[in-house]
Every structure is written in C-alpha cells, then in structure tokens.
C-alpha cells in the first residue's frame, strides 16, 4: 500500500529529472548600462538604449518599439546625419563605438564651428 502512495511522487521526480528546464535570465534586461561596452547589459538578447551620451538603460527587445518613438522625439538621438539636420540639433551623427547600439548622438561638426568662429571677427568689425 505504501508503494501505491509513493508511486506519484516517484513519477514526479522522474519527470522533473528528465525534463530539464532552460536557463532563463529574468532580471537581465533591467538596470543601467554603458553604451561603450561590447555587452553592456550582460546578455546579447538585451539592448542598451541610451538616454545620455554614455549612460543608458537595459531593455528587452520587445520594448524597443516604444523607444523608437522616443528616438523621434528626443532631439539629440539620431540614426543618420539627416536626422540631426532635420531636428536642428546639429549636422553630424556621432555613432556609438558599441556596434549593438543602432543610434548615435547629434553634434555640430568642427567645420561648421570653425566657419562660425572665422565669421565672428568680420561680424564684429561691421
């Protein structure tokens, strides 16, 4: 009679030992990250979305769509030089050294700053 009571328990232990679970990192896509690192979030499945020049936040891949909307709204984040000119926040899109980060940071190039600097004495003398 005892064997009949222990049979479901033995079957349960046998099933759990045969069906091993896949290792899932639940908390891997949470926290702050540096966009200059090669694996900023510690996992290849998570993305580091930058909200400052170097600092970002780790997000799962399905949350990137909401951040893509913010990319259009945020004036200094860009995908190309055209985005910077269109937003009016510069004329050069400086890409991140991390190849996993798909966007860059808008800035003014030195040639434009130099043109403005060289034009200043002429404007002052007039």
Q: Tell me, what's the pLDDT at 104?
A: 82
pTM of the full predicted structure?
0.40
Average pLDDT over residues 54-59: 80
pLDDT tens-digit series, residues 62-72: 766 666 676 77
**In Å, how far are 1, 7, 43, 65, 75 from 13, measured between CA atoms?**
19, 10, 32, 42, 57
d(CA 61, CA 48): 10
How high does pLDDT run on average in the chain?
A: 71
Average pLDDT over residues 29-37: 78
């Amino acid at each position: 009679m005892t064997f009949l009571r222990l049979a479901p328990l033995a079957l349960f232990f046998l099933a759990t030992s045969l069906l091993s679970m896949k290792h899932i990192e639940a908390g891997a896509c949470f926290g702050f990250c540096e966009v200059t690192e090669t694996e900023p979030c510690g996992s290849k499945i998570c993305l580091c979305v930058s909200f400052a020049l170097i600092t970002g936040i780790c997000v799962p891949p399905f949350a990137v769509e909401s951040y893509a909307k913010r990319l259009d709204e945020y004036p200094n984040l860009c995908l190309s030089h055209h985005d910077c000119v269109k937003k009016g926040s510069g004329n050069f899109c400086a890409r991140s050294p991390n190849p996993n980060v798909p966007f860059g940071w808008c800035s003014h190039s030195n040639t434009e700053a130099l043109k403005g600097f060289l034009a200043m004495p002429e404007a002052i003398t007039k």
